[in-house]
A and B are shown apart, each in its own frame.
Chain A
């Protein structure tokens, strides 16, 4: 993934960093049951490469959580989408990176 001017995209090539976690850890973070910092400290997230890139995972999760709590009628679709993602959390546990 690459972040440019607030946009995210997926590109081929060598990544400066890789973050690995179990799928359930990822959805626990999205659901607010596990903080990024706690997952990082307990080894539920493993990271190699550029250290600051690991913070992006925390920022992504934070952004998602923010969408869930966005205020106003204009944010209704965003809130609905966020709830849908959590409700449809996969039951199959696979490695995710």
Chain B
């Protein structure tokens, strides 16, 4: 089981000053995670999702972090590949450059984007996004491997060009894609790339989803890139010595995360300015007590890893039993103060991660 950090760059009621401070805080958090042996820092690409995500230039953040860290991997989670956002040649060039400068530490995730705000801002033809993503996925690994790249597809007609530089990882950085629905996890598996799962569900549902992905990826035989068999989940996480304090801040943060996400992705609106109807205050004592008790319920979804180290280990073991390879902890959420994120990275790194080193249950089973 591997443990990583996930960054949306969230901030509640930002000002110019606090927004700038957020970026420096995130760098400090990743430096600490690197020192504690976390596996990877995954950074999103979003545009215009006020409060929910201020991470619009992940390639710049990850480059800065690369220079300040030694071992932690640098994950794009994910790069928006429709060409209105990023031309495939520019993606290949940037990823390869980061791979060289970081000493081969890049994980590359890709996707098509699903928020109306950014789809319309970049004047995308929404009906073509999926096809554009697939074509970029077909092009970029070729650019990394072929001395001279030439391509004729649905959206691109590229005459012979040398796409430079080439990445240092051979044959190229590991490839991943975002997924949430069961059928999209299978589709990602069929492509032969790693799955970054953003969905929730109970243990049985998650185990089935992982198993279906695993069957698909094992049968996949991608012709132009190296297969990545890897399933990651992204739970909101806050791990503190004080269980109640962790729940008080962590659950408020998880609500901010879920409700701001729902505002941009499920409301059908394209809000601007401060988000309305979002939880920014602490839960009432009786609700907090209910939520703390519900964590251990049999049918509680494997959704958040919040509590003291003992509770966190218990929830992590459920992800492990479902066959998950990597937990990408979402610790930096809009209403959790930087100091608590730092405390959580340290507590989780020292008291949870060491209990789960090695392969997953399914990985061991597959190896037998």
Contacts and interface: CB of A to CB of B under 8 A. Distances in A.
A44 B290 CA distance: 9
B338 to A, nearest CB: 23
B33 interface: no
A52 interface: yes
Interface in A39-97: 40-44, 46-52, 54-55, 58-59, 62-63, 65-66
Contacts of B251: 41
A63 B251 CA distance: 25
A50 B64 CA distance: 39
B294 A42 contact: yes
Given A32-B277, A41-B251, A47-B301, A52 B259 contact: no
B255 A48 contact: no
B301 A51 contact: yes
A43 B181 contact: no
A52 B301 contact: no
B291 A58 contact: no
B258 A37 contact: yes
B223 interface: no
B182 A62 contact: no
A58 B277 CA distance: 14
A84 to B, nearest CB: 22
A63 B262 CA distance: 11
Interface string B199-222: 111100110010000000000000
Contact of A42 (B209, B258, B269, B290): B290
B266 interface: yes
Nearest to A32: B277
A35 B259 CA distance: 8
A35 to B, nearest CB: 6
Contacts of A43: 290-291, 293-294, 297, 300
A36 interface: yes
Contacts of A63: 268
Contacts of A38: 255, 279, 283, 287
A48 B297 CA distance: 13
A58 B297 CA distance: 21
B32 to A, nearest CB: 28
Contacts of B181: 52
Given A35-B279, A62-B262, A47 B255 contact: no
Kindly list the 9 A-B residue pairs having the minimum CB-CB distance in the complex, ordered from nearest.
A51-B201, A43-B294, A37-B258, A42-B290, A59-B266, A42-B291, A51-B200, A41-B291, A51-B205
Given A50-B201, A58-B266, 11 more contacts: A36-B262, A37-B279, A41-B254, A41-B255, A43-B294, A43-B300, A44-B290, A48-B299, A52-B199, A62-B267, A66-B268
Interface of B: 180-182, 199-202, 205-206, 209, 251, 254-255, 258-259, 262, 266-269, 277, 279, 283, 287, 290-291, 293-294, 297, 299-301, 304
27 contacts: A32-B277, A35-B277, A37-B259, A38-B287, A41-B291, A43-B290, A43-B291, A43-B293, A43-B297, A46-B299, A47-B202, A47-B299, A48-B202, A48-B299, A50-B201, A50-B205, A52-B182, A52-B199, A52-B201, A54-B301, A55-B266, A62-B262, A62-B268, A63-B268, A65-B277, A66-B268, A66-B269
Interface of A: 32, 35-38, 40-44, 46-52, 54-55, 58-59, 62-63, 65-66
